């Protein structure tokens, strides 16, 4: 029996059709995965179910009756709850205060904290979650915060739970726990809708999968009838493969070496400690780790925006201790930073301006830009890197989707012909089609004999690309593995700070 029926729903923003005539039903007590590339309209679709947006056409039926939500509050009252990708929790309040936000229990005017806490703890225990109602949100791990978000919805007696990219912030172990929990909730009769583009997770927990592409529904399939490959084909519209037959690594000379590198923050805290690391020509080195364990600081070191306080950085046999981004680039560093619009692109400038950023001198004729050459080079690169929606190169770069913006950065950095390419989260927020392309380019770089460092919190990415893997935890390298001699579980445990091979249990905590 279907709890929600969506009938020919369309959503337009001005001329742009985000959702085009989607008809879909969600059955009671199922886990239904909504898959699609970035910008396919998944979030828009869910926001309509949750009352954050209203459909332009069509209608939504809840238990057979048409509904028209104008606020999340109405949706929650009707039994639809949503856990957003970015948590909606107040850090300085406790778990129970967050859970009961908007529905406080009062005695005359005063909030009855004791009763609130007991009531929320009862719900937590009832569903068997590992959570303490009295803890402050700012003091608990990201995984626990997510549990608090889920409890917030369950406490409001929702029977339909929508989760938007719930595993993006979790470690592999936390992810498995969450998926198990979702299956448990399903068995209690809840309907769960999960938005994701991680297909292995879909395979693990979903009953049915609906694929959306460019606002249109491609199809709904039973999970057991399809493979991951089938789903990704539906998402992209063609065969996609992220498993590459890489040639074995033919490593050349040492390019970059870090010896006992330590860096301290302005406040005197060690953000990097005793980092030993090396990259050779023709090798991809992956740096795995849960975000916030020193990767960002390491990237700053490579980009010349952070000073090392101890140790040395040796590039092509020469010690470099300059803190000068321009000099590093001149020496042959290519950089793809983590936060596109903070460190790599200027959102208020055009596509061509961003394409030549950092290399303005090369495109000048008598101090003036050589417009003709710039335009031609930009167009060539757009062609070569298959960057879409770029017909007008005077358009702002921020009008591009994540994947296309990322390709602009890749095109710019690779066309500088670097000797070492360092990339942080190269496929964050990028759709699967573009991921395939970017990964291919990265491997191509390696095969051309470049040294490549990939920093990523995406374990699959690290496993697929790297020849060698370093794992970071709390500013230290806690493990080094040859990719061929390790597996996801091994790396996952290292990421959590547990070096089981060394038989040394580091406290199981996440750097927050």
Partner 1 sequence: MEQLLSILHTTLRMTTPIALAALGGLYAHRAGVLNVALEGMMLASAFFGVITSFATGNIFLALFVGILASVVLGFVFSFFGITLKGNLTIVGLAINTLVAGASSFILQVVFGQRGTFANQKIVGLKELDIPILRNIPILGDIFNKHTPIVYLSLLVLVVVHFILYHTKLGVYIRTVGEKEDAAVSVGLPVNKLRYISVLIGSVLCGLAGINIALENVTMFVENMTGGRGFIALAAIYSGRGTAIGTYVFSLLFGFADAMQIRMQNIKIPGAFIQMIPYLSIIVVLSVIGLLNKRSRRVSDDV
Q: Which residues bind partner 1 (CB under 8 A)?
A: 71-74, 76, 82, 84, 86, 88-93, 97-98, 101-104, 106, 109-111, 265, 267-269
- Give 493: exposed, middle or buried? Use CB within 10 Å, 0-12, 13-18, 19+: buried
Least separation in angstroms between residue 426's CB and partner 1 is 28
Q: Which is nearer to partner 1, 72 or 479 (CB)?
A: 72
CA 29 to chain centre: 28
Q: Which is nearer to partner 1, 417 or 509 (CB)?
A: 509
Strands (E) located in 177-332: 191-196, 208-213, 216-222, 254-264, 270-280, 283-288, 310-315, 318-320
DSSP character string of 377-422: HHHHHHHHTT--S-S-TTSBGGGS-HHHHHHHHHHHHHHT--SEEE
Least separation in angstroms between residue 270's CB and partner 1 is 9
Token pair for 239: 């065969």
Least separation in angstroms between residue 100's CB and partner 1 is 9
Q: Residue 5: which residues within 8 A CB-CB, separation 6 or more?
A: 24, 25, 26, 60, 61, 64
Question: Based on C-alpha coordinates, what's the Rg of the chain?
Answer: 25
Least separation in angstroms between residue 129's CB and partner 1 is 19
CB 479 within 8 A of CB 468: no
Least separation in angstroms between residue 292's CB and partner 1 is 13
Q: Which is nearer to partner 1, 37 or 97 (CB)?
A: 97
Q: Residue 126: which residues within 8 A CB-CB, separation 6 or more?
A: none
Q: Which is nearer to partner 1, 77 or 204 (CB)?
A: 77
Token pair for 48: 């309509």
Q: Which is nearer to partner 1, 91 or 237 (CB)?
A: 91
Least separation in angstroms between residue 291's CB and partner 1 is 17
Q: Which is nearer to partner 1, 97 or 458 (CB)?
A: 97
Token pair for 330: 């001149």
Least separation in angstroms between residue 70's CB and partner 1 is 10
Least separation in angstroms between residue 120's CB and partner 1 is 14
Q: Which is nearer to partner 1, 195 or 236 (CB)?
A: 195
CB 34 within 8 A of CB 79: no
Token pair for 120: 């929320």
Q: Which of 177, 193, 117 is nearest to 143 (CA)?
A: 177
Least separation in angstroms between residue 102's CB and partner 1 is 4
Least separation in angstroms between residue 126's CB and partner 1 is 21
Walk across the sheet containing 476-482 and list its strands: 333-336, 420-424, 451-456, 283-288, 468-473, 476-482
Q: Which is nearer to partner 1, 1 or 109 (CB)?
A: 109
The rounded distance, in Å, linking the Cα atoms of 151 and 175 is 17
CB 336 within 8 A of CB 344: yes
Q: Which is nearer to partner 1, 11 or 84 (CB)?
A: 84
Phi, then psi, of 54 in degrees rounded to 5: -115, 140
Q: Which is nearer to partner 1, 76 or 313 (CB)?
A: 76
């Amino acid at each position: 029996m279907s709890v929600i029926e969506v009938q020919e729903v369309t959503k337009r923003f001005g001329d742009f059709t985000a959702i085009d005539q989607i008809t879909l039903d969600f059955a009671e007590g199922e886990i239904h995965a909504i898959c699609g590339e970035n910008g396919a309209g998944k979030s828009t679709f869910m926001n309509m179910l949750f009352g954050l947006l209203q459909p332009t056409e069509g209608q939504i039926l809840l238990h057979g009756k048409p509904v028209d939500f104008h606020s999340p509050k109405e949706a929650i009252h009707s039994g639809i709850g949503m856990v957003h990708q970015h948590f909606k929790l107040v850090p300085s309040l406790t778990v129970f205060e967050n859970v009961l936000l908007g529905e406080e229990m009062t005695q005359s005017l005063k909030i009855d904290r004791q009763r609130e806490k007991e009531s929320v703890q009862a719900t937590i225990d009832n569903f068997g979650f590992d959570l303490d109602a009295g803890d402050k949100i700012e003091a608990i791990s990201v995984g626990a915060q997510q549990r608090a978000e889920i409890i917030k919805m369950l406490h409001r007696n929702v029977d339909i739970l929508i989760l938007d990219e719930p595993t993006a912030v979790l470690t592999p172990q936390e992810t498995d726990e969450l998926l198990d929990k979702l299956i448990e909730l399903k068995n209690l009769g809840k309907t769960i809708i999960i938005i994701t583009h991680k297909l292995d997770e879909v395979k693990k927990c979903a009953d049915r999968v609906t694929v959306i592409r460019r606002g249109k529904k491609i199809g709904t399939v039973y999970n057991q009838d399809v493979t991951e490959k089938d789903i990704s084909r539906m998402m992209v519209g063609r065969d996609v493969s992220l498993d590459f037959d890489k040639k074995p690594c033919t490593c050349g000379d040492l390019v970059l070496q870090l010896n006992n590198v330590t860096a301290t923050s302005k406040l005197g805290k060690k953000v990097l400690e005793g980092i030993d690391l090396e990259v050779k020509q023709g090798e991809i080195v992956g740096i795995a780790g849960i975000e916030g364990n020193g990767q960002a600081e390491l990237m700053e070191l490579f980009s010349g925006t952070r000073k090392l306080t101890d140790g040395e950085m040796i590039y092509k046999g020469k010690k470099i201790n300059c803190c000068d981004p321009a000099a590093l680039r001149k020496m042959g560093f290519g950089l793809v930073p983590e936060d596109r619009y903070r460190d790599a692109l200027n959102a208020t400038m055009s596509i061509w301006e961003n394409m030549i950023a950092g290399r303005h001198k090369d495109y000048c004729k008598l101090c003036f830009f050589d417009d003709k050459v710039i335009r031609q080079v930009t167009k060539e690169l757009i062609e070569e890197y298959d960057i879409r929606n770029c017909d007008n190169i005077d358009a702002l770069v921020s009008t591009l989707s994540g994947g296309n913006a990322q390709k602009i950065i890749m095109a710019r950095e690779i066309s500088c012909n670097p000797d070492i390419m360092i990339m942080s989260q190269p496929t964050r927020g990028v759709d699967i089609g573009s991921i395939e392309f970017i990964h291919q380019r990265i491997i191509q770089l390696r095969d051309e004999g470049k040294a490549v460092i990939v920093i990523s919190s995406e374990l699959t990415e690290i496993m697929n690309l790297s020849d060698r893997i370093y794992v970071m935890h709390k500013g230290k390298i806690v493990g080094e593995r040859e990719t061929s001699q390790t597996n996801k579980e091994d790396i996952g445990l290292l990421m959590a700070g547990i070096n089981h091979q060394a038989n040394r249990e580091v406290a199981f905590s996440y750097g927050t």
